[in-house]
Each structure stands twice: as C-alpha cells, then as structure tokens.
Amino acid sequence: MSQYCIAGIDTGVGKTLVTAALAYRTGWPVFKPILSGIGEPGVNDADLLARVTGQTSVEISPWQFAAPLSPHLAAAREGKRIDPPELEAWGQAQLEAHPQLCIEGVGGLMVPLDGQYTMFDWMRAMRLPIILVSSSYLGTINHSLLSIAQLQQHDMPLQAVIVSQAAPERDAGLQDTCETLRAYLPQAVPVIALPRLAPSDTPWKQAADLLNFDL
C-alpha cells in the first residue's frame, strides 16, 4: 500500500500544490478533510484538488467552513464542532477504501481542531508516513525543525521534506534552506526543493522533479 499524509510547518506553505502534484503524477485519490476559508466556489483548495482528480469538492473535504480561521474557531463561528472520533473514523474508512492515497492536513502540525485535539493528534491516529511541506521564508528553518522534532519525538515516520519556494519578497534562499535542513535529518530522508512555479491555471503540472523519492 502507498498511503501518505501531507503535513505542513505552517499555513500557506504550499501543501495543496504538493498534494495536487502528487495526485497528477500518480493518479491517486486525495483528501483534505478539513477546509477553513472556503471563499468563492471554484477557487478553494478542495475545488483545485477536484480539478486534478475528478473527485467532488465535498468528497475531498467533508468538513468545510467559511471563516479563514483555525478549524476549531471557524467551526464555532457556524455553531459547529469537529468531533475527533468522527474524524478518525472517516480517516480509517478512507485508508480501508483506498490502498493508494494522499491525505492533506490543515495548517501546521499543531493547529487545534477541537479543544485539546490537534491536527497532529489526528495524524498520529492515522499512523501514516509524513511528507512535510516547508518553505523558504525567513523563520522557516525554525518552524521546520520544530515540526521535525515533534514528529521524531513521537516516532512518526518522515518520508520526505519538500521545501516550496516563498514569494520573492519573503524568500530567504531556497537552496540555503534545503541545505540547512539536510544537516539535521538522516540521509534516508530527502529534502526536495520546489522552485516557485510560473503563474498558470494548472501549476501542479510544472512540478516535474517533485517525486524524486521512492513512493
């Protein structure tokens, strides 16, 4: 079986682009169970992934909330809550139904979903190898190493780190970031540079070098 969780060091680092690129190259189904800030129809993350895979937006993201906030706050704005046992049961159902898939998290590892339950707690329950998406903005090395330490402390398998290049006004150096992270990781864990892609309606198609690790 080939099943992976796409985690991030922060929000807005490129998790959905990485997930879309993986789906495009493999043909696997993908899921992003929780989506905050759904915005206009056709432009949110679930809609983007649906364009790649042919799945529906609701199939990809069953928990969708309007406010661009942490999921527990976005749900509360609508008088709702994310129930951890329900979320875990949904996840297990996808793992049983799809021997090959990617499931994308929301925000960074420690984003609260409900009370004391975080995105990280859910990932631990799923017990999937992690593809960690980082970036190259100033501060990302600290955020990345904290995320890596959290994974290592709990013996969660790290499959790869993908460093997505930040916007030009924020970029602190893509290759320098990659080289620094490599020094802190076992040689078996690749650190993959994802240069900033040209504007396009289908940017995931440009990420040709993204899969140079063994899936």
Active site residues: 32
- Measured between its terminal Cα atoms, the distance across the chain in Å is 10
SS (H, E, C) 155-174: CCCEEEEEEECCCCCCECCH
In the numeric block, which tokens belong to residue 78?
């609508």
**Which residues contact residue 100 at a Cβ distance below 8 angstroms, ignoring those fewer than 6 apart?**
1, 2, 3, 26, 28, 29
CA-atom Rg of the chain in angstroms: 16
For residues 149 and 78, give the distance between their C-alpha atoms in angstroms, rounded to a whole number. Answer: 34
